[in-house]
Structure 1
Amino acid sequence: MKRDEGIERLSACFHWTEFDGDDKRQYLHQQFVYDNVMFAVTRGLSWSAVGQVANITKDLLPKLKGLKTSEVICLAKDHLSLIEPRLSTAHHAVLLDYIVKTYVPHQRLYQAFLNGETGLRRIRCELEIECPPHPWPLSEGTDAVELEQQRDLKELSLAQSRKEAEIKELKETAEAQMMAALRASLESLPCEGWMSRQEVEELLRSFLQSQGDIIMEALMKEVCLTEDLLSQKSQLVQRHLTNQPVLPGKNCVVTPTKSKKKRS
């Protein structure tokens, strides 16, 4: 007898009121009971026990709604203990194991079934796997040491450009300050009359002093920027010398050894 025929014949033996009006849920309920009944038959249980298994599993499934796995196991164990005459320890353990293994791996599906969520939509995602690009031949690659040197030179070039831009801005600022000092000195000259020699000398001394201070400050800042750039270059050269591989045959000193003669 085929499975569908067996489920149909089993359904005629009970009143399926648990999911009345919902054919899909009712049919899944009948499948659950049928599978457990057929397992009991294959394990050699008496027909009386098989009938009780059908009643127990029919009553059991609706009660599993919202239960955790541990609670499901306890409830199934209690229901199997109601079978009379009492099942042997082996039959009880086998039936419990089958019910648990049938339900637990599909617990989320059964819970959706028990909660009436049978109209869920299936969402399908397509995953496209692309092969990695084929690597270029090693002969067309760049040596690791050479690549590092190129990166360092590029970094040094950028640093030099920044320092040169800062020095240029520094000179422009100094020139602007000198012109401002010159205008201030010219504006301090009297519009009418004459100035004494002492006043002229004092004005020139003040002007030259301010110009000298501006030039000295600009030169000191320029020296600091230049020293920073030279320090970076020195560190780069030192690093390249440190990382430079030693070729075989170089820096090797052979120490001659004297052979000892044995005395006869």
Structure 2
Amino acid sequence: CSITEAVTILGNKLRDYQGQFNTTHLLALCDYFHNTFIRHYKLYQYVLGQDQEVNLTVTHLEVCAPPQPLPLAEGMDRDIWQLEQQVAELSMAEVQKHTNMLLLKEALHLEREHKLQRTFSEVPKQPSRVLKRQELENLISEAIHIQIECLKELLQYEIQITFDILDLKLQKKTLNLNAPIPSPLAITGQPGQDESFKFNKANKGKKAKAKKK
């Protein structure tokens, strides 16, 4: 319908409801009609008055179901699980310390070979020339110095790594000594309660036999 027809229909409706609504309510209804239908009249005509092109967007969403939980019988106490995690972390740290030691040994070995090769390469290479005693002593002294420095660095690092590994082992030992006691799966009754239960069960059995006789 046109705007004129819509306004006419609104006027008729307002007259019909004059006895049921006061002036304030009728004005509010008129304002609502103006702010919704009249203001967006062309939009309503465009959407409702002709066929619209449908733009459908489909998105495939993959939903992963949660994993099946393990049986409760295979579970463990939380404190025990945390203890095992801490022990595993300490064990991994210990393995890493040993790995670092091997890597350092290899690096120091390569560094020592490189320094020795550089020291020997500085000696003049002349087939007819014989090294003097002082030159030979200096060469041997330099080679020994290189060996001692590399060995000194290696020993210092080995001592530090050994202390670190011993500290990790001590931490694991302390954790195992202070391990929490797992909670029992079943609660057993007191000795007096067990005997009372057996006595009542025996009495029930005797009464049942007496009734059969």
Q: TM-score, normalised to structure 2's length?
A: 0.53
The aligned amino acid for 2:11 is: I
Per-residue Cα deviation, 1:140-187 (whole angstroms, up to 9, x for no partner): 212222322332233233323322222111111221222223333443
Mapping 1:1-80, distance limit 5 Å = 16-18=1-3, 54-56=9-11
Structure with the greater relative contact order (CA < 8 A, sep ≥ 6): 1 or 2? 2
Alignment match, 2:46: 116
Q: Is the contact between residue 181 and residue 211 of structure 1 (CA under 8 Å) also seen in structure 2?
A: no
Q: Could you tell me the percent identity over the aligned residues?
A: 23
Query: Across the two proteins, how many residue pairs are aligned to each other?
Result: 175
Deviations 1:25-82 (A, max 9, x none): x9xx6xxx9xxxxxxxxxxxxxxxxxx8x44278xxxxxxxxxxxxxxxxxxxxx6xx
Q: Deviations over 1:163-215 (max 9, x none)?
A: 22221111112212222233334432764344444443332222111110111
Structure 2: gaps of 5 or more residues: 184-213
More moved, 212-221 vs 146-155 = 146-155
Q: Which whole-Å CA distance do the structure 2 matches of 1:225 and 1:175 have between them? A: 18
Tell me, in whole angstroms, the C-alpha distance in 1 between the residues paired with 2:130 and 2:95. 51
Cross-structure match for 2:112? 178
CA contact (8 A) 1:170 1:222 kept: no
CA contact (8 A) 1:178 1:214 kept: yes
Corresponding letter in the other structure for 2:113: M
Return the offset for 1:244.
3.6
Structure 2 residue 147 is the aligned partner of structure 1 residue 201: no
Map of 2:93 onto structure 1: 159
SS in 2 for 1:217: helix
Superposed CA RMSD: 4.9
Q: Distance in 2 between matches of 1:246 and 1:140?
A: 13
Where 2:107 maps in the other structure, the secondary structure is helix
In the alignment, the residues of structure 1 paired with residue 47 and residue 79 of structure 2 have an alpha-carbon distance, to the nearest angstrom, of 64
Q: CA deviation at 1:229?
A: 3.8
Question: Which residues of structure 1 form unaligned runs of 5+?
Answer: 1-15, 20-25, 34-51, 59-79, 248-264
Normalised by the length of structure 1, the TM-score is 0.45
Are the aligned partners of 1:185 and 1:207 in contact in 2 as well (CA < 8 Å)? yes
